Amino acid sequence: MTELHGSVLASLGTAIVSGERAEGEVLTLEGLCTAYAVSRGVAREAVRVLESMGLLASRRRVGITVQPRAAWNVFDPRVIRWRLDGSDRVAQLLSLSELRTGIEPVAARLAAIRATPEQCRRLAVAVSDMTVHGRAGELEAYLVADQRFHRTLLEASGNEMLAGLGDVVTEVLGGRTHHGLMPDRPNPEAIALHEAVALAVRNQDAATAERDMRSIIEEAAAAMAELRD
C-alpha cells in the first residue's frame, strides 16, 4: 500500500501544481480510484496528505476541491520537487534563490559565531568532496557534497528555524542538477567561495562568512538566469 500511496501522491500532486488539475476542480474518491487503479484506502490517504500540503480541501456537500496556489505549503519539499518537474521550473528556482538570499547569508553569519568544531570539520570535508567531484565532472556526487555543505551550514547557525529549511535548500540544489541547470563541470569560482565560507566560519569571521555566502547564491542565480534567457 505504501508504494501505491506514494505513486498516487506524486502523480496527483504533480498534476495539481502543473495546472493539469485546475484550481476549483472537484474530485471524488471514486474518480481517483478509477484514474489510478487503487483502493479507496490508498486514494483517501493520498488526499489526506495533499490536504496537509494545502493542495486539496475536503468539505461536506462540496467534495474534494483543488486549492489555489495561495493555499499551498510552498515550503514543503515535495511541493517544491513537483513544481520543479513542471514547465516553470526556472522561475521556481529563481524564486527559491531569492528566498535563499534572505536566509543563508544570515545562517553563515550565525554559524561563524556558533558552529561547533565538528560542524566546521563537516563543512571542510564537504568542500573537499565538492572539489574532487567537481574537477571530475561527477555531478551527482558533487550534488551530495553540496547539499551536505548547505545543510550543515544551516544547522551550524544554531537557529532551529533556519535549520528547518535544510530540506528546502536541498531540493533547490537537486532541482538544478536533475533538470540540466548546472554546467557540465561546476564553476571553480563557486567551489572557491564555498571554501571561503567554511574558512570564515572556522575563523569566526562573521562578516566574511555572510558576504561570501551571498556571493554563492548570487552566482547560482546568475547562472540560472543565463540558462533561462
pLDDT digits (tens, 9 = 90+) for 23-82: 999 999 999 999 999 999 999 999 999 999 999 999 888 889 999 999 999 999 999 999
Task: Compute CA 126 distance to the chain's CA centroid, rounded to the nearest angstrom.
Answer: 18
**How many structural domains compose the chain?**
2
Whether the pLDDT of residue 1 is over 60: the answer is no
Q: Which pLDDT value is given to residue 228?
A: 64
Question: From residue 162, how far is each of 18, 44, 158, 169 by CA, in Å?
Answer: 28, 33, 8, 11
Confidence of residue 89 (pLDDT cuts 50, 70, 90): confident
pTM of the model: 0.88
Instruction: State how far the Cα of 151 lies from the Cα of 160, in Å rounded to an integer.
Output: 12
199 and 98 together in one domain: yes
Of 30, 55, 71, the residue at which a domain comes to its end is 71
Residue ranges of E strands in the chain: 26-27, 56-59, 63-66
For residue 153, give the CATH number of its domain: 1.20.120.530
Q: Contact at 8 Å (CB) between 123 and 198?
A: yes
Range of the domain at 152: 77-228
Same domain, residue pair 84 and 60: no
CA 215 to chain centre: 19
Q: For residues 85 and 109, what is the distance between their CA atoms, to the nearest angstrom?
A: 33
